[in-house]
Structure 1
Amino acid sequence: GARMICHRLGIGSATFHDAMTTFTGAAKRLEKLADVPGRTVFKDFAHSPSKLRATVEAVKDQYPERRLIACMELHTFSSLSEGFLDQYEHAMDHADVALVFYDPHAVSLKRLPPIPPERIRKAFARDDLQVITDALELIGSVRAQASDQCVLLMMSSGNFGGVDLEALAEAFIA
């Protein structure tokens, strides 16, 4: 993949290998916020249905023995639109616990109608989906889910209503 492209661009193997030793990956993609034996926290930029599905599946594949707690924020204009929601169907099926957060204030700023939690559950095709609309409730719910052998995956192009994800990650692994 990358080595072949660099070779075609005239970049030598030694230069490629030197650069790869310091490459940290794509920004905002599966950034590890905290990691202790048995508990790991990631944040990811995933917010579209296909990226959400791929990210949840990838993390579950990497940690099959752990309980996966996946939380995503409906943040973009399209994701908050009634007609778009159904594209999220089964996007979080590989998560053991699935949470969706959205900020009602963000919805009103975009001049969109409020979305009932039942509608979001139906769109994701998960009756057990937790729909949260308050940042403090989100923090409490995530912390309550913490247990041995689990992974927390926080996915958004927004900021979860101002939640400090670094602090949440530290509390989750404590």
Structure 2
Amino acid sequence: MKQSEIIKQLSDQELKKQVILSQLIILSAGVLLSLFFFGKFNEWLLYFQWNLYDIFLYGVIPGLIIVAIDLILILFVPEKYYDDGGINDRIFNNQPIHYIFFISLLTAVSEELLFRGVIQTSFGYLTASILFALVHFRYLKKPVLLISVLSVSFFIGYMFEITENLLVTITAHFVVDFLLGCVIRFKK
């Protein structure tokens, strides 16, 4: 059975639980793999730097740029090319802001810890960026979404290359997910 068919059979509540569960699995994988690849947990913590200038310049601003480009694409690209099977609509539509905040933060933290904090630092920028896109496998048969997620992955990965700061990439990822989640929530 295809993923889209399985998802259609889930209630909205079950889908929300699955999203949270999948992010907790990614978070756990990131933490466990960091122990394996770094030996000492505090070595990994060196990638967390509370540098507000970098967080704003390389996190917030790129996040806003990604959202602006995404909104322009939504306006000009036919909806069928940008449709993920209604999954994001089901996750974010009619949800309270605090839920969108929570799920966006959980996703940003878990995915960035794994893909930038472990995979990019251990296997490189290219590997991490491609694997990040592949994990979003529901986009693989949608060229516009695939190009979009690949571009975002390489862009955020590049911000990590520049700063070596996971708070930068978590911030950029959060800004994108939260703002686009709010767009879905308030559209119409």
**TM bracket (short chain):** under 0.3
Task: Choose between structure 1 and 2 for higher RCO, CA contacts under 8 A separated by at least 6 residues.
Answer: 2
Structure with higher helix content: 2
Between Structure 1 and Structure 2, the one with more strand by share is 1
TM-score by length of 2: 0.26
